[in-house]
Amino acid sequence: MQGTVDGFTHGPVIPVLAFLAACLGAALGLRFTVRSPRTARSFRTGRLALGALSIGSGIWTMHYVAMTGFTVVEAPLSHDKPYILAGLAVAVVMAGVGLFIVGYRGATRMALITGGTLTGLGIASTHYLGMAGIRFRGHFTYETPLVVLSVLIATTAATAALRAALSARVLLSGLGAGVMMAVAVTGMHYTGMASLGVHLHPTAPGPTSGHVPSD
């Protein structure tokens, strides 16, 4: 049985709040990253770690704020806490690896591509871990092309945001980089949600969950 998905249960206010959460985390995190090369090496690690925590928390918060507007009309949903915590850890760690690469190697082409790609993969991993932790009487399916597109959006926009942040000379440019990172997070999220299909199990004895990519 096909389920009915509503990704905007509370209207546009939830997507706006989710985007702002991503903007705040990204702006703070990129600010720490931009300042790190201009600090003593002994303090650089701390700044980059704070940047990773800010960006990772922004990614994670954006996802769960956005998910407050997601419902399956025919079935109640719940979230598995280990997946929630795993998503936060992955976001912080992946963003951290990306930031440490650009923080210590500088804004070289390869460092930006590697750091942006890893940060984008962290965004996507957080999203799909969160979706895997949803419990209901049914399972998710995904359209593979849109899943691939969602990952490409995350990695491309994250790379562009890192490049913009590290080349920023004024505060407004840095804020623009934060917006670009927020676009990476929200663009990935809603593209991934657009690929979603829900199949219900009316006779299932208990809640199940899962996702199976399909072409």
- Kindly state whether residue 170 falls inside one of the protein's structural domains: yes
- Kindly state whether residue 59 falls inside one of the protein's structural domains: yes
Over pLDDT 90: what percentage of the chain?
A: 63
Tell me, what's the pLDDT at 203? 60
What's the domain count of the chain? 1
pLDDT band with cut points at 50, 70 and 90 for residue 53: very high
Higher-confidence residue of 162 and 214: namely 162
- Kindly state whether residue 1 falls inside one of the protein's structural domains: no
Tell me, what's the pLDDT at 214? 44
- Kindly state whether residue 100 falls inside one of the protein's structural domains: yes
Tell me, what's the pLDDT at 40? 63
Flag whether pLDDT at 197 surpasses 90. Answer: yes
Tell me, what's the pLDDT at 171? 53
- Kindly state whether residue 181 falls inside one of the protein's structural domains: yes
* Domain span holding position 166: 12-35+43-70+83-134+143-197
Q: For 68-199, where are the alpha helices, taking DSSP H only?
A: 81-105, 109-132, 144-166, 171-194
- Kindly state whether residue 78 falls inside one of the protein's structural domains: no
pLDDT band with cut points at 50, 70 and 90 for residue 205: very low
- Kindly state whether residue 211 falls inside one of the protein's structural domains: no
- Kindly state whether residue 75 falls inside one of the protein's structural domains: no
Q: 59 and 67 in contact (C-beta within 8 Å)?
A: no
